Amino acid sequence: MSETIKSVKEYISKEGAKQAFKRAENVIKTKPECENAIITYSNPDFSKVTNESGKLYGIPIVISDNISTKDIETTCASNILKGYIPPYKGDAEQKLEAEGAVILGKGNINEFLIPNAPSFIGDVKNPYDDKYTAGPAGGCAVSVLAGSVPVSVASDAYGAVRLSASYTGITGFRPTYGAISRYGLIYNSGSTDQVSILANKVSDCATVANVLGGHDKRDTMSLLDPLDFEKGVSKARKKIYDSDLLEGIKIGIPENFIEGADFEIVKNFEKAIKIFESLGAVCETCWFEAAEFSNEIHEIITAGEASAMLAKYDGTRFGQRIDSDNWHEMVAKTRTLFGKSVQDEIIFGTNLLRSKQIQKYYMKALKLRTDLVEEINSLFKTYDFLISPTTIKIPAVSKDLENWFLTDKSITSINLAGLPAISVPFKKYNGIPTGIQIAGNLKKDSDVLKTAYIFEKKSKGEN
């Protein structure tokens, strides 16, 4: 499969890895829609790019700036981490390099990926309408869209990858929690974040997921048995998939995922349902009760976790420091280098964990999360997949990003349960691309990808 990667490989075989890199760099540095896309460019040593038989030999790749890369500045798009040069390689970097890929640079994201926190170098504008944002992982998405790189590796905290994919008309795949190692992923929310992939085509996502996947003993959440993203489909379904159809596949459409959506979005989505049905799938609406409060529990849990995970930025061992003659004061001042929205997030999370509040909000959210997971389990007893628009909202207005917040149950419920989900581009709304989300049960990643692939093929030309 891997259509885009294949075409890039073709010219790499002629021009060589270094030329391909220059071509990628040239695209991103000259195309106007790529403004702010990259925070730091790498300076690769091509004498070390030797694995010509590697699955990704010579392929330039953008890695999001919240993933640790050795000797390449990694800032999480925050002033507080300016100048931080990781002394170690994250797992993603290691695995990509082992297959011959070349890191082009660090993709721009929201500050620490927080939904309403603009990057310290400025937001990445949406190439279809620069009034709007390209999404929380905008730099990663735009570098793919512009054709600079065939894939970008980012992470899907707060739905960053799926939202950015949806907003820019590319594909964003979030694997099952633990299917790709988090070693080197600078997460705020350890229980919902997951290394994910942005690409032009579903097949490219699968290829790169196979490179990144597998057990990593450095991540305690890493699945013990690796998933095969390309060929791991359920045996019972293989034959159907092989005929590029979805005959007999049962698809649930949680009504409440679509609640509040604009008429246009619903209309587009109905067309998508028609395509699934034309492929032989049985589509049925359903009610996902627990998703009614998934946005709230997601907001509580991610903020609580973030308040702890962001505590390490104290100006003591790395990163920026604002001097003071007292350590506590030094830390409090240094932490004003977080942008306003990140500060709010930390204070919000800190307050939720205070002994006066914790039972009322945080612990309750953890119990409601159990309800949610159990309901999902029962939904997947009936359905193979859940589909919905990836998001029911248009992107945030770029200059007004600080007032935006995440309200997609289709994003939050999936992240809380750690399910695999993909956003496939389908049509536009007000000139801005929209995506269709296909979510599957835990470890059914290959089925999700295959179904997305079949949908992608069938819906060709309808973007």
Which residues between 254 and 293 bind another protein (CB under 8 A)?
293
Report in angstroms how near the CB of residue 71 gets to another protein at its nearest.
10
Write the binding mask 341 to 360 for another protein: x where contact by CB under 8 A, - elsewhere.
--xx-xxx-xx-xxx--x-x
Hey, what are 7's tokens?
């075409």
Contact between 364 and another protein per CB under 8 A: yes
Of 81 and 240, the one with the shorter C-beta distance to another protein is 81
Which residues between 293 and 312 bind another protein (CB under 8 A)?
293, 296-297, 299-301, 304-305, 307-308, 311-312
Q: Which of 19, 30, 278, 316 binds another protein (CB under 8 A)?
A: 316
Report in angstroms how near the CB of residue 153 gets to another protein at its nearest.
14
Name the burial class of residue 235, with classes exposed (0-12), middle (13-18) and buried (19+) by CB atoms within 10 angstroms of its CB.
exposed
Contact between 87 and another protein per CB under 8 A: yes
Q: Which of 277, 329, 400, 462 binds another protein (CB under 8 A)?
A: 329
Q: How far apart are CA 349 and CA 172, in angstroms?
A: 28
Contact between 319 and another protein per CB under 8 A: yes
Contact between 324 and another protein per CB under 8 A: yes
Hey, what are 445's tokens?
């990643």
Contact between 220 and another protein per CB under 8 A: yes
Report in angstroms how near the CB of residue 253 gets to another protein at its nearest.
23
Place of tokens 């770029």: 398
Contact between 331 and another protein per CB under 8 A: yes
Contact between 367 and another protein per CB under 8 A: yes
Report the Cα–Cα distance between both ends of the chain, in Å, rounded.
21
Q: How far apart are CA 245 and CA 146, in angstroms?
A: 31
CA–CA–CA angle 389, 246, 168 (5° rounding): 30
Among the listed ranges 11-19, 140-148, 189-197, 200-208, the one in contact with another protein (CB under 8 A) is 189-197
Q: Which of 335, 409, 427, 443 binds another protein (CB under 8 A)?
A: 335
Q: Transcribe 263-325 into DSSP letters.
A: HHHHHHHHHHHHHHHHTT-EEEEE--GGGGGHHHHHHHHHHHHHHHHGGG-SSSSSS-----S
Report in angstroms how near the CB of residue 269 gets to another protein at its nearest.
25
CA–CA–CA angle 462, 380, 453 (5° rounding): 30
Q: Where does residue 456 fall: left (phi above 0), alpha (psi -120 to 50 degrees), or beta otherwise? A: alpha
Of 245 and 330, the one with the shorter C-beta distance to another protein is 330
Q: Which of 26, 278, 285, 336 binds another protein (CB under 8 A)?
A: 336
Q: Where does residue 436 fall: left (phi above 0), alpha (psi -120 to 50 degrees), or beta otherwise? A: beta
Contact between 74 and another protein per CB under 8 A: yes
Helix (H) or strand (E) run with residue 432 in it: strand 432-440
Report in angstroms how near the CB of residue 434 gets to another protein at its nearest.
25
Count residues contacting another protein (CB under 8 A)? 96
Q: 282 has which bridge partners?
A: 250
Which residues between 404 and 423 bind another protein (CB under 8 A)?
405, 416-419
Closest C-alpha among 317, 298, 70 to residue 188 = 298
Contact between 460 and another protein per CB under 8 A: no
Q: Which of 16, 40, 129, 221 binds another protein (CB under 8 A)?
A: 221
Of 15 and 292, the one with the shorter C-beta distance to another protein is 292
Q: How far apart are CA 28 and CA 31, in angstroms?
A: 6
Q: Which of 190, 214, 226, 280 binds another protein (CB under 8 A)?
A: 190
Closest C-alpha among 63, 30, 34, 65 to residue 130 = 34
Contact between 378 and another protein per CB under 8 A: no
Which residues between 41 and 70 bind another protein (CB under 8 A)?
67-68
